[in-house]
Structure 1
């Protein structure tokens, strides 16, 4: 009898042969049988160590595979492990009844996890499986935070990096978010981890509080606990540049100029500087300080002269808590102010010999301002020398007298000669000279006059501006024609004989017709004309006469000087004893015949009875009759 254990099923059923070898008495012989050998049952036990673990911590999972009696032997093959967390299975070979793998759980969700070890069997052993549970807790973490660059300046971006790592014995890469606080009072920022790294960029708008405490707080996830890290960020003042421009440029004296200073942060700094800018104008006036608004400061300045143009203008930014000071410069070109010259004359029109005031008003033109100084040269347009006057309050005056109106209207000019600040300009006007007013005065001599007498009429034409020339037309008022006299030294004379008293006193009118320089004028006078005295002479013929003779009496009437002319009217001729006879004058004579007269000496009378122009008169003679 023997005992045998089959170590495998390969070849089953096995043929068993018993061979007797014989002895001294017996011959050898053999016999046979078959033995069927099946797979032995197995059992699989699973354990993990350490247990519990934390996320990322390796645990060793061991599957022990053993044959179940009556089977014996050492199973071979592989065990497939399922860790219960959804991760891929792992297969490990069985060696000496053991299969070993390691596994790190990446999270706690599902803990405790059921670990399954499935023995797949081999040619001699059947499959089996075993289970275990494994508890996984959250892993501890560490958070480190750093900023770069550090230090920075105001407005310069800095990158904050938080590195979150699992703490031993944990492993794996934490996920989730990190919350950053910047220490400057701004809101926190939360960002997502990528491969355990979270970054944000932050710009410090002020250095007040520097160095700033930075905190990065890892908010944990399903597998890792929270943690935090800190750092400090030093922030310095940002450098600045100051740009200065002036407008308009060029300008003119008196024109308002706007100076604009723009203060900017210099990279890597950023932001809008605050504070004040001090402006200097380069013209000796006081500097002006004005606050920035949105990085810009402006002032308005008026340059009152052009003598030292261009002016050096500067803007100095005085800095603030976050930005350093800086300065900028520019030049402002200031030119002379254009001017206008307005010229007026008064009185206008004037007359020759009358003083005329010429007034020039010199003003700055927009955009310039101020009151021009210096001199103005006046041209009078009549060929006389120019006159120069000094401006006072922008006004210059001269007085000029025109001696003649020849050339009127005269072209007037006023030329402003400019000064250091104001440019020259010219104004024009015209001066009209009217004719001078004349006065005509009429006198007549003798006045009264006798009819037929010569009257001298004298006309004086005068003016304060000189002596008129030309002619005067005389009207005598007696219906006779006019007469014309030529002025000499302002005087014209004519003679006239009034032949009647009808209409006396007569109005004498003298009309001056004017000349190039004087207006016409009219004067009048009255001339009283009385009857001219007369002388009457009488003669009788024949004388002596005889008693039988017819006697003719003739009266001759003549004017007595200064009277002239031929009297008209009637003469009464009378001889005593005879009827008087009224006889009309013809050619100054009147005749009548008387009947024979007795002897003796007779008085003959001739009475002129007068007319409108001649006064009565009487003449006598003696008639001798023999």
Structure 2
């Protein structure tokens, strides 16, 4: 402000003083001297503070040649100057984590002048604590980093004022966008083999000027068609493990995609993973071991991947049995291949076994060996003689059957030695198809039954064994034949049954028992000249044809025997006679009709069943036979001659027949 001192002559003096006036502003600042011109001296002064207000002003006139010095005082009141605060941020917009420079410029508002001092409080609008910063040359500067994208955030700078300047505030906005990111991906180890775990690590970082801790997830694509995996980001890293199940497609393109979060943009990175075939080991065992000739043994090959490889190899295993037979190739299932093999000889035992895994697209081949010991199979020998029993002087065939005992199998070869048990020399026969036969004739029954022994002498593949039997010499055999006559016969007719018993060794004696097959009692007849005869009447056709059995009971020299025949019995012919009484009758008489049914020779017996009786003009009546007779009564008839009929309807044993008569009515 301008301060003016007016110097004038005092009292009777006159004129205009010249010289200088020295001003003291009362605020401790240096005095200022100004020339007096036209009786006034003027200076300009700005009080920098209100501290001390009101200030004491002093103007001291220095005098000149014509005027003496003089002094004048006054008071100056100084109030706080108004201020303005302007806020600016740079860069704007920024990204998450990027430092932002915020400047608050505080200025005195006209007419005030000077440079405000003091402090400015910054509020960044993002919820972080306000920050107090001192002014320097009227400017307060601070750097702030926004950690979250969003906005625009309202930035406020509050100048707190001082003794000389009043407070003021200003504002601005700051827009914060998502920070860009980069994603790098590596896999380790690389290369791997099928089934080996590789660790895939994605490193996610913000791109300058962005900064801060990233969150969210990374999605991994392994390039082999398997499902993607998602892992959280922690300290800028996301980690997963993956095992490749195949070499098909190697090297595989790995992609790691950071999915972004509220403050950081997404990004992706890629790598490749080379996957080679995994090594394998093959083991082979046989069970059971040892075996015997013909016994099946199971060879089992176990194929496994060698660490760090994993998973079950597929493909085939080729088995070699070491006995000259063709090798066999079998498919793996869950890493296991099995095959059954039967050794047919001991020659070469123990046999070397080899299992070769042929590999596949993902696993290398490998092989293993074992051995199989094969011993001779046990045998059983069975011996039978035929015919048994036999008679002295009759040739008997002895048959020895040699078989392997389970689990052995196959057909033994070699020879069998036969001992006949009657003191004669043993006989030896060669096996053919497991069977050896000899023929021997026993000269006497003395010693019967004879002990027969068949000894199999073994061969390279089968052990020896022995079988036993006995041979009985008995009485001579007989044969019985049966005939019946007449055949067929009729019900009630008598049949002659003849049994003939014969033998190559003579004429049997004794008795024959006959069974007729109709439920009647048996009959016994004595042989004469080898023949026995009986007669038997069959009284029914039920059961026809009947089985006739003749059983010869044997005697001291001949064994018994049995023969059979069949006898067919048909229904017997019948004759029916009819009479009517009274005959003649009158028109008032009831007429009784009687039918009598009898068998026709040679049949015998009494027919049963029903007879249908009829007279012309009257309803027929069917009545049962009683002791061969049936009767019925009819109402009186008109005059004339009437035909009377009786029709026998037959039964199971007797055939139908009919008879007639005439009835005269007067």
Residue 222 of structure 1, CA deviation: 3.2
Pairing of 1:133-148 with structure 2 (within 5 A): 133-148=173-188
Q: C-alpha displacement at 1:157, in angstroms?
A: 1.7
Shift of 1:277: 1.6
- Choose the corresponding residue for 2:382, options 325, 338, 342: 342
> What's the CA shift for 1:294?
3.5
**Counterpart pick for 1:288 among 325, 328, 337:** 328
Q: Which residue of 1 aligns with 2:104?
A: 63
1:269 aligns with 2:309: yes
CA displacement, residues 272-303 of structure 1 (integer Å, 9 cap, x when unaligned)? 32222211001111112233333333322221
Q: Provide the TM-score with structure 1 as the length reference.
A: 0.62
Question: Quick one: distance in 1 between partners of 2:50 and 2:378?
Answer: 127
- CA separation of 1:91 and 1:382: change in aligned 2, threshold 3 A: farther
Whether the aligned pair in 1 keeps the contact of 2:386 and 2:397 (CA below 8 Å) is yes
Q: Secondary structure at the match of 1:350?
A: coil
Q: Report how far residue 417 of structure 1 moved.
A: 2.3
Equivalent residue number for residue 53 of structure 1 = 94
Tell me what 2:25 maps to: 3
In the alignment, does 2:469 pair up with 1:434?
Answer: no
Contact map agreement 2:219 2:229 (CA 8 A) in 1 = yes
Gap change, CA 1:435 and 1:169, over 3 Å in 2: same
Q: CA deviation at 1:100?
A: 1.9
Query: Partners in 1 of 2:430 and 2:557 — Cα distance?
Result: 42
- Tell me the distance in 2 between the aligned counterparts of 1:299 and 1:340: 29
Tell me the residue number matched to 1:95: 136
> How far did residue 171 of structure 1 move?
2.4
1:117 aligns with 2:157: yes
CA distance in 2, matches of 1:15, 1:118: 30
Instruction: Give, in angstroms, the shift of residue 57 of structure 1.
Output: 1.7
Query: 2:373 and 2:325 mapped to 1: Cα distance?
Result: 16
For the residues of structure 2 that align with 1:261 and 1:318, how far apart are their CA atoms? 12
Q: Output the CA distance in 2 between the equivalents of 1:90 and 1:132.
A: 16
Alignment of 1:14-29 (within 5 A): none
User: What is aligned with 1:82?
Assistant: 123
Shift of 1:348: 1.7
Do the aligned partners of 1:155 and 1:271 also contact (CA within 8 Å) in 2? Answer: yes
Is the CA contact (8 Å cut-off) linking 1:7 and 1:73 kept in structure 2? yes
Residues 1:245 and 2:285 are matched in the alignment: yes
Change (3 A) 1:387 1:91: farther
Separation in structure 2 between the aligned mates of residue 372 and residue 45 of structure 1, nearest angstrom: 119
Q: How far off is 1:160 after superposition?
A: 1.7
Partner in structure 1 of residue 358 of structure 2: 318
Does the 8 A contact of 1:405 with 1:435 survive in 2? no
**1:125-154 Cα deviation digits (max 9, x unpaired):** 544332111222333322211111111111
Alignment of 1:371-450 (within 5 A): 371-434=411-474
Which moves more between the two structures, 283-292 or 222-231? Answer: 222-231
Report deviation, 1:350. Answer: 2.8
Gaps of 5+ in 1: 438-463, 466-518, 523-626
Distance 1:84 1:29 in 2: 58
Whole-Å Cα distance in 1 between the matches of residues 274 and 337 of structure 2? 30
Structure showing greater Rg: 1
Contact 2:24-2:59 within 8 A present in 1 as well? no
Partner of 1:357: 397
Q: Is the aligned partner of 1:228 residue 2:268?
A: yes
2:222 & 2:308 partners in 1: Cα distance? 19
Residues 218 and 227 of structure 1 are in contact (CA less than 8 Å); yes or no, is this contact kept in structure 2? yes
| Cα displacement (A) at 1:97 | 2.9
SS in 1 for 2:150: coil
The 3 A distance-change label for structure 1 pair 351 and 50 is: same
Aligned length: 439
1:546-576 deviation line (CA, Å, top 9, x unaligned) = xxxxxxxxxxxxxxxxxxxxxxxxxxxxxxx
C-alpha contact 2:25 2:56 (8 A) present in aligned 1? no
Q: What is the deviation of 1:267?
A: 1.4
CA deviation after TM superposition for structure 1 residue 390, in Å: 1.8
State the 1:320 CA deviation: 1.6
Q: Let me know the Cα RMSD of the aligned residues.
A: 3.6
Which position in structure 1 is the counterpart of 2:149? 108
Q: 2 CA distance for matches of 1:249 and 1:38?
A: 118
Structure 2: 5+ residue stretches without partners:
1-22, 28-46, 478-503, 506-554, 559-666
